[in-house]
Structure 1
Amino acid sequence: MPDARISELPVATTLGDTDLAPLVQTSGATSVTRRATVAQLRSAVLVDRGAHVRDYGAKGDGVTNDAPAIQAAINDLKAKGGGTLHFGARVYRIASAITISDATIRLQGAGFTEGPGAGQGTWLLIPATGFTPFTFSGVYTRGSAVRDIAVQQIHTAALNPSWAPNDYDYVFRVEDSLGGVDFDNVFLCNINRGIYCRNSGRLDIRRLRGQVFTCGVEIDESLDVPRIHNLHFWTFLTSNSDVVHWQQAHGDAMIFRRVDGVFIDQAFVLGYRSMFRFAASAAGNTTKFYIGQAYADFVRYAVWIEANGTDGQIANLTSQSEVFDGGGPALAGSHGIFVNASNTRLQVANLRVDAVEENPIRVAGSGNRLDLFALRCVRFNSQNNGAAAIHLADSGAATPNTVHLGSPPLLEQSNSAPVVNSGSNGILAAGAPAGRAARPGLMLGSTDTGLFLPASGNLAGAAGGVEVLRATSAGSVTLGATPGSHALEVATPLGTANRLLISGGGTGAPVTLQAQGADASIGITLTPKGAGVLRVNTSGSGNSARIQGGAAGTAVAFGADSSSVDSNVTVSLVSKGSGALAATIPDGFVSGGQARGANAVDWQQSRSISAHVASGNAAVIGGGQNNTAGSTNSVVAGGNTNAVTAGAGWIPGGQQAASQSNVHRGAWSAGRFTSNGDAQSGEFVLRRQTTDATATRLTADNSAPSNQNTLNPPSTGSYLCRLMVLARQTGGGAGTAGDSAGWTAEVLVKRGTSVATTTLLGGGGSIAPTLNDAAAAGWRLGLAADTSNGGIAVTVTGEADKAINWVARVLSVETVG
């Protein structure tokens, strides 16, 4: 048909890229007719107007891997200086990585239909894990964009309580661009992780919607004000409770690490562990964030701060924390705001928290400050365990946590719960109160309970419309009622350095009243008025202790009070455990003396050295001055400068007596020549039992003879002794029980500088009884010098097959020199 008109040609069907069309090309005055493909014509017409993925072989059939064609188009645009890459209204299968590096490329779709799967518009289908679908990197990528595109992934797990998503990487990664990449009108449906941005400031996300499982947006090292506007994460794919329960346990809608000045507005999420999670990375933490309007529904935490030093502002936030499809119960451990960090700063203008298990606001760590200007808490403390609306952790020695309320909080719950928890050093502060007792200016829990200003410079507290506390600018505090009718008053004088601490006690422990302050030693004074006395009475008892001061020149008194029920009341001083009783406080100095022995009693109040105390276990000093009871069970009844230094010795009084080295002996003196004990009287008691006719030594402790349990003068000492010895048969096969014998004898012993020089002057040898039964006539007492221990050997001899108890009392006159 060489002469046919164009109108006579057959109508073309759907055009293909390889279809041909005539084209007249002019070169100067010459015109030449040539053929051109549709693809050539489209490329020429749309030059500098972007490219289309179909020009590079993308099929958009949902089956072919279109990633290589898209990458080719991106590379071509990069070579041309960047531009817009168009996607038609098709499903593009992305089965390998696509990288936009150092090129400003805008991925422009044709919109989408919101829904659980690919509908009309542009859809990117990602069928498998193991790669990052889109990566933007390099400084020339700044200005790139993704617009009007929907993304879908395939997750293969069965819908049951064990459901979990396939572990896809982020769909879009923006890394090391140092500047802004825009996302506008992007739909993430059935996506594990959405957008990740690192080391790229001015990220701008607008109209981001969809259902993501693990994380929707994560930003790190963004130092120049990223923006997120109009974000909506909802159950677009599925409302299956197993899927949403997984999200509530593991999913974070937005994660911010090192981010400076992020702006977020008009955000809504449903069914996540957290809506805003402020974490940290090696680069640092988020500062100066701003959230305009946000609504978190079915989330465990609306705001979760876990990075130290995070700070930011929230204008309007609503949070609700129910179990999804659970009929009303709150998620375990849920909070509207959860600060699990230290030294954070958060300002919230309007905050509503609904349906949390315990605390709408929970602050852990230390040094955190929250400023809340309008707080409403609805349906919290669901376990009815007294959980407070605001929980402030005790920071210990670190800086306390603080919450400042700009207005009284509105608490709406069916059970009783306090505003803030007890048992913490955390601080809850509010604006200055005003009003009257019946209706305080700052109300807590009800309109008639809180703080008010009764007068200038005064602050008062009311409970149930009745004043119970008032503090004045002069430093006094009255408790119990209005001043004048109050029960307790605390007055703080100027320049106070010391204070009184009254503490409660745990189970089985007492309450305490302690002096504390700057001084090393601080007393406590309890002063009755006039002639009044101080009475101490255990609840329910009929007898009272009485403590009474005295006027000048009179005594003070401690004892049983006359108001006691019993006519005769015993007064007991009781120490704890093996503690001692003492008249002075042991301080290691002369004033109080050294520590007393276990279970010792020391009523001595005057001493010349700190060692003049009852330092032996169970030792006793009854009084006097400068006495020492330095061994177990030793006793000094009184006197002056007496010393018992061996076990169970005793001194009844006098002065300058010494027990020397002998146990179980007494000594007393009226003075001395040179040293204590050189002019004194003494007494010893010796004992032993015999069962045969073998000569046996009597000793003070019924043990083998030594230099401590026998009659041993000190070096260069002499004893004149009078002995009374008694023997009585108590058993045995021979003789008769009860047969007895007795001896009286006198002996003088002296000792030089060594034990070997000990001699006996008179009274020695074997001595027959002075008085005796006939059957005891053969028993004998022996006295001899003991040159092994340096004293008198008192020896007794009984009879075979007779058990005989021997007891000797020895009275001595002693001198040394």
Structure 2
Amino acid sequence: MNRGLICLIMSACIFTLSGAALAAPSQVSVTDYGARGDGITDDTAAFQSAMNAVKEKGGTVEVPVGNYLIKTHLNIPAYVTLEGIWKIPTAFTQMKGSTLLAVEGAGSETGTPFITLGPNATIKGLTVYYPDQKPDNITPYPWCVACAGGDNSSIIDCLLVNPYQGVDFGTRASGRHYIRGLYGQPLRRGLFVDKCFDIGRIENVHFWPFWNWDEKTGIRDWLWKNGEAFIFGRTDWEYVFNTFVFGYKVGYRFIKTKDGAMNGNLLGLGADASNIAVLVEETQAPGLLFTNGEFVSIAEDHPAEVVVKNTHTGVVQFQNCSYWGSSDQIARVDGAGTVSFNGCNFLGWNRKRNKTPAIELYGGNLLVNGCNFMGDSPQLSLRGKAISATFIGNHANGPLAVTNPAKADLQIGLNTVQKPPAKPKEEAGAIIIDDRDSQPLIRYVGQWLTADAPGAEGDYYLGTHWAFKGNGESRAIFTPDVPKSGRYTVYVYFGPDPGSDHASNEPITIRSAGGTRTVRVDTRPQNNHSAKWVKIGTYRFSAGRKSTITLTNNADGNVLADAIKLIPIH
């Protein structure tokens, strides 16, 4: 063979091999660059070096099992995926699998995010844990994950155990973001979206007590006073699918920023144990389209599943949604926009039994059609600057009570009413006050919840009121109207204990003509005080409403306030 040809072939081979050797890798491990994963060594530089090694043409950086201390923060370059071992969203996996330990920025909400995602960058299969955060002394931190500005940043199958702030896809532009399988217990803010001018997608996000919910630490009350799970600013036709939040002051908040407000498709959203499940300050004209939602508000003062502020000018539509809990009301609607409820179920409002309607309209327009009001309290009141309302084809379990003091344009018709079942029969002459009676017979102070279960086995009549154990701040005050002075035997009704969390020492205080006395009752089922009348004692009562029987939560477990009974002694 010609010597020149041989040399040419050998040169080509050498060039090809050297080019392959010099080509940037597409997949590396953080351990290739010195990461230890022992929870002690600072692995920040190793992570960043590994990601920089694949950033030229894009690639994946693997994070094997380990606890990786990151003393500062990480920047995920464009086209790079940082991937741990998890293939599904996990729960309670701190210090397991691929866990990143975040410590920078304690004491301030502002500062560099723990992870910043470039365009087309992804984190996947990771757990992020803040080891220095304490449930009894919540400390601010900067955002856990944020986008650098640009399109197509993604979060897939990750657990953010306890960040003070979860995901910031709003401070910088975040078009076509994609979040799927994100679990965690963000404390102050969960997910913020703004500046999304092209469709973003969020699905299967679950914000729940994956870190701590021990009421003794105070974290439950802290979250009820401060926590906001989702905050949406300007985003154009956002798709939100199958998301759930538990234990926040606000479940879903919709605001107007300098860039505008949101319109979007919201399917299968849930919010439980909130103060306000859905808070709307503003929307775009195309509106928010809620379908198949489940919303529960029980926490703090004046809980309501939906609150629409007086700043609202857009459209909000709820279709085939369910609302329940021990709320003051289902919806308080204000502003100049339009809100509609179609084919929805309403249960558990008017928890203080003070005739609060399920829905109050203070401004704008309202449509309520084909809905089921599963309670005996008022359904609707039009007040203030209410413009118009339709209330058509609905069903109510109690008397139809729709009022219009605003003299708005109200169209009402084709509604049906179901007569409630008769109350249980008791002894002749017995004085009964049920928890569903109204003032002045029964008055609630502090936080009480309701277990509204018409026909439920064990409750006295159509459910019961109950309260978490506490220090006596929650009181149920029964004031019987005694027809004749004399001696009466007092009974209190206690229903079943499905959660095995009832008090062994629920206090009942009787203030009567003979003075004041407190009796404590073991309400646990093993002591045979479940689902029955319990005799408290015999006392002298004066005629009229001069005596009270008060149940409080100053006990070692949850307490009930279901019904009381006075039987005259002849």
Letter in 2 for 1:128: E
Partner of 1:172: 145
Deviation at 1:85, TM superposition (A): 0.9
Distance 2:273 2:241 in 1: 19
SS state at 2:183 partner:
strand
Partner of 2:308: 339
Letter in 2 for 1:289: G
Partner of 1:416: 377
Partner of 2:560: none
Distance 1:307 1:83 in 2: 40
SS state at 1:124 partner:
strand
Partner of 1:190: 162
Deviation readout 1:552-574 (Å, 9 max, x if unpaired): xxxxxxxxxxxxxxxxxxxxxxx
Where do residues 379-390 of structure 1 align in structure 2 (5 Å cutoff)? 379-390=348-359
Deviation at 1:302, TM superposition (A): 1.7
Partner of 2:126: 149
Where do residues 473-488 of structure 1 align in structure 2 (5 Å cutoff)? none
Partner of 2:328: 358
Q: Does the C-alpha gap of structure 1 residues 255 and 444 become closer, same or farther in structure 2, counting only changes over 3 Å?
A: same
Deviation readout 1:471-504 (Å, 9 max, x if unpaired): xxxxxxxxxxxxxxxxxxxxxxxxxxxxxxxxxx
| Greater relative contact order, per chain length (Cα 8 Å cut-off, separation 6+) | 2
1:374 aligns with 2:343: yes
Letter in 2 for 1:56: Y
Letter in 1 for 2:269: A
Partner of 1:513: none
Q: Percent of aligned positions with the same letter in both sequences?
A: 23
Distance 1:132 1:376 in 2: 41
Where do residues 265-280 of structure 1 align in structure 2 (5 Å cutoff)? 265-280=241-256
Deviation readout 1:228-252 (Å, 9 max, x if unpaired): 1111111111121221221121111
Structure with max Cα Rg: 1
Distance 2:156 2:190 in 1: 15
Deviation at 1:99, TM superposition (A): 2.0
Deviation at 1:116, TM superposition (A): 3.9
Deviation at 1:204, TM superposition (A): 0.3
Letter in 2 for 1:168: Y
Deviation at 1:276, TM superposition (A): 1.2
Distance 1:246 1:128 in 2: 23
Where do residues 568-579 of structure 1 align in structure 2 (5 Å cutoff)? none
Contact 2:265 2:289 in 1 (8 A): yes
SS state at 1:282 partner:
coil
Deviation readout 1:557-593 (Å, 9 max, x if unpaired): xxxxxxxxxxxxxxxxxxxxxxxxxxxxxxxxxxxxx
Q: Does the C-alpha gap of structure 1 residues 185 and 347 become closer, same or farther in structure 2, counting only changes over 3 Å?
A: same
Partner of 1:82: 58
Letter in 1 for 2:147: V
Letter in 1 for 2:153: V
Q: Does the C-alpha gap of structure 1 residues 156 and 442 become closer, same or farther in structure 2, counting only changes over 3 Å?
A: closer
Alignment coverage as a number of residue pairs:
385
- 1:56 pairs, out of 33, 49, 61, with 33
- 1:227 pairs, out of 188, 191, 201, with 201
SS state at 1:239 partner:
coil
Distance 1:192 1:97 in 2: 15
Distance 1:425 1:257 in 2: 26
Contact 1:206 1:228 in 2 (8 A): yes
1:263 aligns with 2:234: no
1:91 aligns with 2:67: yes
How does the TM-score come out when normalised to structure 1?
Answer: 0.44
Distance 1:421 1:463 in 2: 20
SS state at 1:75 partner:
helix
User: What is the Cα-based RMSD across aligned positions, in Å?
Assistant: 3.2
Letter in 1 for 2:115: F
Q: Does the C-alpha gap of structure 1 residues 53 and 46 become closer, same or farther in structure 2, counting only changes over 3 Å?
A: farther
Letter in 2 for 1:60: G
Distance 2:412 2:92 in 1: 61
Partner of 1:810: none
Distance 1:252 1:278 in 2: 11
Partner of 2:266: 291
Q: Does the C-alpha gap of structure 1 residues 91 and 348 become closer, same or farther in structure 2, counting only changes over 3 Å?
A: same
- 1:206 pairs, out of 180, 183, 196, with 180
Contact 2:93 2:127 in 1 (8 A): no
Contact 1:443 1:449 in 2 (8 A): no
Distance 2:412 2:46 in 1: 76
SS state at 2:386 partner:
coil
Letter in 2 for 1:375: C
Q: Does the C-alpha gap of structure 1 residues 77 and 427 become closer, same or farther in structure 2, counting only changes over 3 Å?
A: same
Deviation at 1:443, TM superposition (A): 5.4
- 1:403 pairs, out of 366, 384, 401, with 366
Distance 2:155 2:252 in 1: 19
Distance 1:411 1:461 in 2: 14
Distance 1:344 1:45 in 2: 57
Deviation readout 1:34-59 (Å, 9 max, x if unpaired): xxxxxxxxx97997441111122211
SS state at 1:73 partner:
helix
Contact 1:247 1:271 in 2 (8 A): yes
Q: Does the C-alpha gap of structure 1 residues 237 and 448 become closer, same or farther in structure 2, counting only changes over 3 Å?
A: closer
SS state at 2:356 partner:
coil
Structure 2 residue runs without a partner (length 5+)? 1-8, 12-19, 106-110, 403-410, 419-570
